[in-house]
Structure 1
Amino acid sequence: MKKVLWICSRLPAPLLSGDALYSAGLLKALAMTNDAAITLIGTRRPNHDQDAHLAALPNTTSIMLPSAQASGLRSLASSLPRDAYNLATPELALQIEKLLQQEWDWIAIDHAYSAGLLSTILKNRGRASVWYIAHNAEGAIRPAIARSFSNPLRRTIMQLDAEKYRRLEHRLVRAADAITCITGDDASYFRQSSPRVCIVPPIYLGKVVAERRIERKCPRSLLLLGSFEWVAKQKNLELIVDTLLPRFQQKGITLDVVGFVPQAVRDRYGRYTEHLRFHGRVDNLATIMAGSRGGLVPDLLGGGFKLKVLDYAFQRLPIFALRQAVAGTSPNEQSAMFLADDLDSLVERIVNNIDDLVALNGHQQSAFELISARFGLDAGISELKEFILGSRRVESRAHTMHQV
């Protein structure tokens, strides 16, 4: 068995956000190869103490440290971006230094925000190969997010943080013996600096609806899944609601938003109470899914693969999406979605199709068949077994590269 130290500074539990879902899928796939003995280490997410799905993983030992505390403005004086600075806690640093006294085959750095202790890792890696698990091309998306803010002070702070992310990501990519990412666009970005890049699609771990037929009695509602804690996600939500809701109100269409939304954002849209419903976090989505005629993927900011695509497809909701928001899906998969190039066009796509039951049912059936074939657990196990544990394994550069 290969010994793998998996550093995920923000542990992938609960499964309520895209980064947690992607990490959890890869972690489960690698554990189920039965060819890796994994030690997972990271900090708990705030207000969360139950990690049953992590405890149930085979071949895996989990070291769960206390939640990181927000730094306020202290991170501004650091060379690290805010998330990496906050998550590189003294407790995490101490434990990683102890773990690095062992011999490892692989050290996985899961997400750029887990690289706050990169210098310590590289100094003490021994003969271990470094595997960077990229969730986004941070150096590409974060400057774009920063530019979207109109407040000059907020924009300046976000731009500073984006530049710190770019520099940290560049160091990490240069140090990595292997990089996995989610989309072809991200792979092209990373291959400018490293030849060893593999696309590993998200692995769906949720429930599967075997069969569904949308009927006329189904409410004229659309579902938007997400976790809106990150400021970029909040900005996305505001752009979406500001564009879609006036037309939805006019046409009698309801938008159901499921996931954490700050109260200040919810209060801003009190005038739409009849056609906009904030449900918060929901443990069982079955009722809301069954009462929806489609799922929305309208993200303008943030980049990367939108994991709600998988939730919608596997639970048989037709997908209404911006073309740029479904990066990582194939042309065939996109042919089974209702796509548009901007939010105004997406509104019209929704209005023109929400009552076309033949089209809705045809698209959800096709999307289910196409997406379930590529994003299941077996596919993830096979890819990681070949790329990380199998014949394509590379020699560690620990003794050949300069300190970065």
Structure 2
Amino acid sequence: MSILWLARYAPLPPANGGDAQYSRNLIQAVAKQTRVEVLCFSDVAIEPGTYGARWHHVPRQHHSRIAGLLSPLPDVAYRHAQSEFTRKALELAATVDTVFVDHIGLFWIVPILARTRASAKSPRIVVVNHDHEAALRKDMAAAASNPLTRLVLRFDAGKAAALERRANLLADGLTAISTTDQAEFTQLAPETANLLVMPGYDGPVVPERRIDEGTDLRICVLGGRGALHKKMVLRLILRELVRQGIPQRYIVDVVGSGEASGFEVSGINFLGYVESISDYLSTVRLGLIPDEVGGGFKLRLLTHVFHRVPMLGLRKAIDGSTLRPQVDYADAADITDLVTQIDHLIGHVDRLNELQNNAFSHCADRFKWDDRGTDLAKFSLTLTGRDPAAATVPQL
């Protein structure tokens, strides 16, 4: 069996956002099971064997963002829809059993690949969903404060929803990153075989930790600030923290890559990238997961869990991860509720330890990247008709 993996860019360090980590680790994991060819946009060649795969690349031409408004494709797909990528993808697709189309940014190529199905050698097509884009982009449009931005985002959201629907319906198989997303895609494309592919975790693990009265009254908001919806989330939580006077009572840190410009708030520390996330998190009493905008699976959940940092988060942000509200994390209905709970929870050390211990035990054996590679390889075999026994989708 062989696989072609289509990626928007080479998901290699220093690219370390959630999308890059997810794609990189899936490629590496499935490459341990079978031959994997990767095609991506890149200006430089990538060493063969990197993450176990053979890499191919084409340079990405820059399209006019203004012209993109007139395209039927959403902006993220319009910027990647290029003839040279199509040509190379079709050439490589003729040599493999399955093509994985990674992210909505490349879903424009699914109808093109589907036209080759008349050929006896045509590969099966699997779309790799990083999110339920229709819901994500609708939330982004609603959260935009500028009326013009809101209008543009709403227009783009409609195009994204249409592309997402078409690609998932045309594909032979689809993957979902969370249980909530899997339910949405099952409803959207009931005839398309689907597989739940949550992220794995391969970072540092803290085998034991005890929060006590001597632990700093430190609150952490962890995560990058590159994507528009992540900036929206940060603005919303900072506004509410200040409104309720939290920075005057506790240490509040914002940790992660991205510019602090435009976010500066008196009393809140913007630490940016920290050299040792393990050393830093050992000082944190409570981690916030305040994502009012955005779905999918937050990889930073696992960073908190395996560093034994108890979490207070919006239920809508954590639903679909298998983490249990009020058992593995303290849940909140909205941003106001989340911040209101801080005063009670942060001083309740027994409850904090109960949450972090429960979360660690629950996740210990559920998030292994190698398992994801095995699942993807079996799914590919199932779609090609070679392994009927693998037809049952693994349940986490």
TM range (shorter): 0.7 to 0.9
Bigger Cα displacement from structure 2, 301-310 vs 137-146: 137-146
Does residue 74 in structure 1 map to residue 72 in structure 2?
no
Q: CA RMSD in A?
A: 2.6
Choose which of 355, 367, 375 in structure 2 pairs with 1:383. Answer: 375
Following superposition, the deviation at residue 308 of structure 1 comes to 1.0
Residue 114 of structure 2 contacts residue 171 of structure 2 at CA under 8 Å; is this kept in 1?
no
Of 305, 324, 331, 1:313 maps to: 305
Give the counterpart of 1:98 among 91, 104, 122.
Answer: 91
Q: 1:248 to 1:206 in 2, by over 3 A?
A: farther
Of stretches 248-257 and 143-152 in structure 1, the one that deviates more from structure 2 is: 248-257
Asked whether the equivalents of residues 146 and 158 of structure 1 are also in contact (C-alpha less than 8 Å), the reply is yes
The 1:76/1:174 distance shift into structure 2, 3 A limit, reads same
CA distance in 1 between partners of 2:58 and 2:219 (Å): 39
1:18-97 matches, within 5 Å, as 18-32=18-32, 34=33, 36-44=34-42, 56-58=50-52, 60-66=53-59, 69=62, 71-89=64-82, 91-97=84-90
* Aligned-partner SS, 1:344: helix
- Structure 2 residue 233 is the aligned partner of structure 1 residue 236: yes
The question of 1:370 aligning with 2:362 is answered: yes
Query: Deviation of residue 115 (structure 1)?
Result: 1.8
- Specify the SS of the correspondent of 1:78: coil
Going from structure 1 to structure 2, the CA distance change for 1:64 and 1:375 (only over 3 Å counts) comes to: same
Contact 1:180–1:198 (CA under 8 A) maintained in structure 2 = yes
Cα distance in 1 for residues equivalent to 2:88 and 2:79: 16
1:207-218 to structure 2, matched below 5 A, reads: 207-218=204-215
> Within 1, Cα distance between the matches of 2:261 and 2:82?
29
Residues in 2 aligned to 1:3 and 1:382: alpha-carbon distance in whole angstroms: 14
Distance 1:219 1:67, change over 3 A: farther
Percent identity between the aligned chains?
A: 29
| Aligned residue number for residue 124 of structure 2 | 129
Of 75, 80, 105, 1:113 maps to 105
Distance of 2:260 and 2:332 partners within structure 1: 30
Deviation (angstroms), 1:67: 5.9
Distance 2:321 2:45 in 1: 33
Residue identity in the other structure for 2:252: L
Distance 1:215 1:70 in 2: 55
| Inter-partner Cα distance in structure 2 for 1:189 and 1:168 | 15
Corresponding residue of 1:5: 4
Partners in 2 of 1:202 and 1:67 — Cα distance? Answer: 28
**Inter-CA distance 332–382: structure 2 relative to 1 (3 Å threshold):** farther
Q: Is the 8 A contact 1:333 1:367 kept in 2?
A: no
Give the 3 Å change call, closer, same or farther, for CA 19–169 of structure 1 in structure 2: same
What is the rounded CA distance, in whole Å, between the counterparts of 1:176 and 1:51 in structure 2? Answer: 28
TM-superposed CA distance for 1:309, in Å, is 0.6
How many aligned positions are there? 380
CA distance in 1: counterparts of 2:138 and 2:91, whole angstroms: 36
Aligned to 1:399: none
Q: CA deviation at 1:224?
A: 1.7
CA spacing shift, 1:38–1:283, aligned 2, 3 Å: farther
1:145 equivalenced with 2:140 (yes/no): yes
User: How far apart, CA to CA, are the structure 2 residues paired with 1:285 and 1:326?
Assistant: 21
In structure 2, C-alpha distance between the alignment counterparts of 1:312 and 1:44, rounded to whole Å: 33
The SS at the match of 1:117 is helix
2:291 alignment partner in structure 1: 299
2:182 is the counterpart of 1:187: yes
Structure 2 unmatched runs, 5+? 387-396
Moved more, 332-341 or 300-309: 332-341
Cα distance change, pair 89–291 in 1 and its aligned pair in 2 (3 A):
farther
> Structure 1's 247 and 253: CA in aligned 2 closer, same or farther, altered over 3 A?
farther
Q: State the distance in 2 between where 1:64 and 1:278 align.
A: 37
| Amino acid in structure 2 at the alignment position of 1:6 | W
Stretch of structure 1 that moved more, 16-25 or 108-117 = 16-25
Contact residue 257 and residue 277 of structure 1 kept, 8 A: yes
| Alignment of structure 1 residues 197-276 onto 2, 5 Å | 197-249=194-246, 251-266=248-263, 269-270=264-265, 272=266, 274=267, 276=268
Deviation string for 1:114-134 (max 9, x for gaps)?
Answer: 223334333346420001111
Post-superposition offset of 1:374: 1.1
Distance 2:346 2:62 in 1: 44
2:323–2:362 contact (8 Å) kept in structure 1: no
